[in-house]
Amino acid sequence: MARACPGLVPTLLVAIAVLSSGCRGKPHAPPPSLGPRIAVGRGDVEPRVVRVLHTEQGVLLETTSGIYELSAPRDDTFRIRLRRDRAAPRLPSFAVTAQPVTDAPRLEIDESDTAVILRTARARLRVDKDPMCLRLMTAGGEMVADEALRVRWQEPGVRLDFGLEPGERVFGLGDKVRGFDRRGHTFELWNTDAYGWKIDADPLYKSVPFWLHLGTTGRAHAVFVDHPARATVDAGQRRPAVVSYETRYADALDVYLFASAEPKDVLRAYTSLTGRPPLPALWTLGYHQSRWGYASEAEVFGVVARLQHDHIPVDAVWLDIDYQIGNAPFTVDTHAFPSFAKMVAELAASGVKTIVITDLHIKSYQNQPPPAQGYPPYDSGVAGDHFIHGGTGYFEGAVWPGPSVFPEFTRARTRTWWGRLYRGFIEQGVAGFWNDMNEPAVFVKDKTFPDSVLHRLDDESQAPHPLVHNAYGTLNARATYEGVKALRPGARPFVLTRAAYAGAQRYAASWTGDNTADRAHLAVTIPQLSNLGVSGYAFVGADVGGFAGCPDPELFAAWMELGAFQPFFRNHSAKDACRREPWLFGATIEARVRAAVQRRYRLLPYLYTLFEEASRTGVPVMRPLWLEYPDAPATLGVDDEFLVGRELLIAPSLVAGARRYQVTLPPGTWYDTTTLARLPGGVHDIEALPDDRVRVFARAGAVIPESALVRDTSRGLRGPLTLTVWPGPDSAGALYVDSGDGFAYQRGASRRLQLSSEGRADGLTVRSTSTGDFPPWWKEVRLVIHDVPRAPTAVIDANGPRPAYLYDKAQSTLTVTLRRAATDFEVSTNW
Ligand code: GLC
C-alpha cells in the first residue's frame, strides 16, 4: 500500500551542513565553512504553500521553504524548478537541449483551498498545500507515485525524496555497477577516473541523475534531477520506500518527473529533453582495434594487415597517447610516426579509419619564460584566455604530459577554440576522436580538481568546481563534436567520451573505462551497458577482452563473441597488460573470434536500423528484457541476457567451462538460431556451445535483414539483401538504408523497408513495403524462411517472375531468391 503524502514517518536526519551558506549572488553555491547540524524532520520545517501565482508556463508556488515553478514541457513531463529563495542563482542546463522535442501541451490548472492540480492530456501533478506534497497521477486521477517529490533544503544543499512503491524496481543512473536493479544501493554522482575499477566500485566515470521506476504492473515513471553537482542517490537503501537525492551544492535546480507510461515512452520523453544520440556513420558500427599503445607506423600497419589477412573484418584502428610527443595532446611523435598523414591515408585506402586520442589536459608551459612555446594548443589557449584560472595564473594539475592546464569548457567561446584545434587532424584525414580523462582526471589523491577551482560561465559568473564537475566531460565532448562537425561538415563526427553527464549522448559514444580481464567484468557488461541504454546512451561498449590484466584464451573468445552484439565494439587493452590481438590466442580461438566479428558484419543492416531508431526515439539498441516485456515478471530481473532491438535475444554462457546453463525467454515463441529449435517463453536449461559461448534467439515473427560479409564498410554494404524469416505472429521488422555517412539523409536521402511475414496453415507470405527513394545496395533479395514443414508446392512473387528456390529438408529451411533489387514485394509460398 502506498503511503499518503502527509503520513511520512518522522525521521531525524543528521546532515553534515554549514552554519552559513553565503552562496547568494556570484559565485554559485557552496559554503565557506562546515560544521555539524541537526536538520529537518517532519513537523519541524514541513513546507507549506503560501501563495500560488499563475505564470505563462504554469504556476509559481511560494512556500515556507523555497520557491517552486511548475510547468509541463510535454504532456507526459512536468518540470519543477526549485529555488531556496528568490535570490538563489541557477546554473544553465548542460543537459536539456536548446530545442527540446516538445509537443507544447495544453496545461490546465485547478486550484482549491487545499491543493493545486496541473493537468495535461496524459498526466496530473497534484500539489497539496499544507503540508506541501507533490504527487504524480495518471490523467484519470490514479496515483502513480505517492510522494513524487519532497524537498528538504539543508544548509548547505538540498535533499529530494521520491517515493518508492513496494515491488518497484529502479533502473538507469548511467554506468553504475551496483545492482542491475538499483534498488537497495546508494550511488555517488561524481565522475571519477577509476583505473582497474572493482566489480562493485562507485563512483565511476559518468553521472546521470535520471532513474526510472518500473512498477509491478509494467508501467514506469521516472525522475531526472538536472544538476551536475556532486550528489548521492540512495535508491531505497537507507529508507526502503524512498529514493533520495542529496547534494550539498544547490540553491536552485530543476527536477523533471516523467509520467506513468510504457518504459519505452518514458525513454522517449527523457531523450526528447536531453537529446538523442545522432545517427552514427556506418563504419563506426564495425570492429575497432585498439591498444595502449600502438607505438609506430610499422606496428599499426602490421596489426591492420594481419587482421585483413586473417579475414577478421575491421573498420578502425586507434592511437592512444603513445603517438604523441611526451603524451601532449594534438602533437604527433614524428620519430615513431614519420609519415603520419600518409599512414592515415594508406590505412583509409585499405578500408580502415584512424581514430586518435586527444585528451583535454594541455601540457603547461606557464612556469617557463615567454615567448610563445611553439605548442599551439597552449599558446592559443593562453592568447584567448581559455584555461581555468587558479592561484596567480592558470590552475595546473599533473596528468599524462606532466603539469597541465585545463580548458574552460563551461564557456561557449572556449568550446569553439577547442573545436578548432582539430583542424590539423581533420586535414590529415583522421576519422574519429577520443576524449579521455575528462572527469576531469588529475594525478592527485582526490583524482580531480580541488573544490576551490572556480569555473567561468558564459554570463561571466563563476561556479565552484563541485557544482559543475559532472558536466565537464560532456562539455569537452560537445566542444569536440561541434568543432569536428564544423571542420568537416559533410561527415558525421565520431567522438568517444569517457566521462558523461545527462545529454552527452548527443555528442559522443562512450565506454565503461578501465575494466579488468576477468569473468565478473565480462558478466557486468550486460547490466552496466543495459542501464546506460536506459539512461539515454545507445552507443556504448566496454573494452572487449578487458583493459587491465590478461584474459585466458577462453575468456577472450567469449568476450569477443559477446562484445560483437554490444553497440560499440572495440578491443582495447592497457599498456602493461598482455596483448590481445585476435591471433595471439591460437588458431582455434582466432577462428571463434573471426566467426563472431563476421557475424556482426553480416548483421550490420539490422544494427544500423536500430541505431537509426535510437536517433529518432531514444530507445536504445541494447535492451534489457524488461524494456520489451515490462509486464512479464520473469524477465524483470534478468541481467545476464539482453535484447538487440526487439528481435534478437543474446544469452551467453558466462561461467567458464559450464556445460549447461539457464536461459529465460520472454513470453511468446523463440527460435534458437543455432539449433533452429522452437522454444516457448520461460526458463530453459540449455547446452553451452563449446565453440561459441553466445546463444542467439530470434523472436518468432522476426524478419532480420543482413548483408554479405565485407572486410570493412568503406564501400558500403554489399551483396544480396538476406532476410531471415522466423515465422510467428506480430511480425513487423524494418530495414533503414542511407549512404552510411553525411547528412543527406536529413533531407530525405534514405529508404525504410517495413518487413513482415504472415503465416497460414499451408503457407506463408513475406512482404516488404518501402518509403523513400534511396537506391538499395543490393541487386538481389534472398529470403531464408525457417520452420517450413515441407517442400513448397508453389512460390509466387506477386510482382515478378517465378523466383528460384531451394528447400532444405533437414533444416526445414526454404531459400527464395528474387533476382532484382526489390524493395517492395510480396512473396507467397504454399506447402
Ligand atoms: C585511461 C583510459 C584508457 C587509456 C589510457 C591511456 O586509462 O581509460 O583507455 O588507454 O588512459 O590513454
- 209-228 pLDDT, tens digit each: 999 999 999 999 999 999 99
Residues with CB under 6 A from ligand 1: 195, 292, 320-321, 357, 436, 498, 513-514, 572
Helix (H) or strand (E) run with residue 433 in it? strand 432-435
pLDDT at res. 12 = 26
- Measuring CA to CA, which residue among 433, 382, 387, 401 is closest to residue 333? 401
473 in Cβ contact with 418 (< 8 Å)? no
State the closest ligand 1 atom to the C-alpha of 437, by its place in the atom list counted from 1.
1
Secondary structure letter of residue 407 according to DSSP? B
Cell representation of residue 760:
497460414
259 in Cβ contact with 123 (< 8 Å)? yes
Choosing from 436, 442, 510, 576 the residue with most ligand 1 atoms within 8 A of its CB, the one to mutate for a pocket test is 436
Cα of 484 to ligand 1 centre, how many Å? Answer: 22
Of 193, 439, 639, 712, the active-site residue reads 439
Distance CA 332, CA 327 (A): 9
Cell representation of residue 389:
584560472
623 in Cβ contact with 630 (< 8 Å)? no
State the closest ligand 1 atom to the C-alpha of 543, by its place in the atom list counted from 1.
9
Which residues neighbour 568 within 8 Å (Cβ) at sequence distance 6 or greater? 284, 288, 496, 509, 510, 511, 539, 540, 541
Cα of 307 to ligand 1 centre, how many Å? Answer: 23
Phi, psi (deg, nearest 5) at residue 654: -100, -10
Distance CA 284, CA 462 (A): 38
- The position carrying cell 580538481 is 449
Choosing from 292, 355, 511 the residue with most ligand 1 atoms within 8 A of its CB, the one to mutate for a pocket test is 292
pLDDT at res. 550 = 97
Q: Are strands 648-652 and 694-699 parallel, antiparallel or unpaired?
A: antiparallel
10 in Cβ contact with 3 (< 8 Å)? no
Name the residue with the closest Cα to ligand 1, atom 5: 292
The 3-state DSSP class for residue 35 equals strand
List, edge to edge, every strand of the sheet that includes 703-706.
Answer: 703-706, 721-725, 781-785, 813-818, 804-808
Name the residue with the closest Cα to ligand 1, atom 4: 292
Distance CA 331, CA 336 (A): 12
Going 727 to 771 to 279 to 535, the CA torsion angle's sign is negative
- The position carrying cell 504472415 is 758
The 3-state DSSP class for residue 240 equals coil
**Which residues is 760 bridged to in the sheet?**
763
Please provide the distance, in angstroms rounded to a whole number, between the alpha carbons at the two ends of the chain. 55
Distance CA 709, CA 717 (A): 8
Name the residue with the closest Cα to ligand 1, atom 10: 292
Choosing from 514, 571, 572 the residue with most ligand 1 atoms within 8 A of its CB, the one to mutate for a pocket test is 514
436 counts as catalytic:
yes
Cα of 195 to ligand 1 centre, how many Å? Answer: 8
Of 436, 581, 590, 672, the active-site residue reads 436
674 in Cβ contact with 695 (< 8 Å)? yes
State the closest ligand 1 atom to the C-alpha of 292, by its place in the atom list counted from 1.
10
Cα of 378 to ligand 1 centre, how many Å? Answer: 22
Distance CA 471, CA 439 (A): 8
Give, in degrees to the nearest 5, the angle at Cα 381 between 413 and 420: 60
612 counts as catalytic:
no
Cell representation of residue 635:
524477465
**Which residues is 158 bridged to in the sheet?**
153, 247
Cα of 320 to ligand 1 centre, how many Å? Answer: 7
Helix (H) or strand (E) run with residue 332 in it? none
- 523-557 pLDDT, tens digit each: 999 999 999 999 999 999 999 999 999 999 999 99
Phi, psi (deg, nearest 5) at residue 179: 70, 125
State the closest ligand 1 atom to the C-alpha of 514, by its place in the atom list counted from 1.
8
- In DSSP notation, 236-254 reads SSSSTTEEEEEESS-SEEE
Which residues neighbour 329 within 8 Å (Cβ) at sequence distance 6 or greater? 357, 358, 359, 360, 361, 362, 363, 377, 401
552 counts as catalytic:
no
Cα 773 to chain center, whole Å?
A: 31
Which pTM was predicted? Answer: 0.94
pLDDT at res. 800 = 87
Distance CA 588, CA 602 (A): 21
Cα of 575 to ligand 1 centre, how many Å? Answer: 9
pLDDT at res. 299 = 98
**Which residues is 144 bridged to in the sheet?**
none
N residues, the chain = 831
Cα of 204 to ligand 1 centre, how many Å? Answer: 14
Distance CA 294, CA 433 (A): 16
711 in Cβ contact with 289 (< 8 Å)? no
The 3-state DSSP class for residue 499 equals coil
Distance CA 17, CA 630 (A): 41
Of 514, 590, 640, 672, the active-site residue reads 514
Which residues neighbour 195 within 8 Å (Cβ) at sequence distance 6 or greater? 514, 548
State the closest ligand 1 atom to the C-alpha of 547, by its place in the atom list counted from 1.
9
State the closest ligand 1 atom to the C-alpha of 321, by its place in the atom list counted from 1.
12
Cα of 508 to ligand 1 centre, how many Å? Answer: 17
pLDDT at res. 146 = 87
Cα 82 to Cα 68, 91, 234, 273: the distances in Å are: 5, 12, 20, 18
Cα of 137 to ligand 1 centre, how many Å? Answer: 46
Choosing from 204, 288, 294, 320 the residue with most ligand 1 atoms within 8 A of its CB, the one to mutate for a pocket test is 320
Helix (H) or strand (E) run with residue 800 in it? none
The segments of the chain whose pLDDT lies below 50 read: 1-4, 7-43
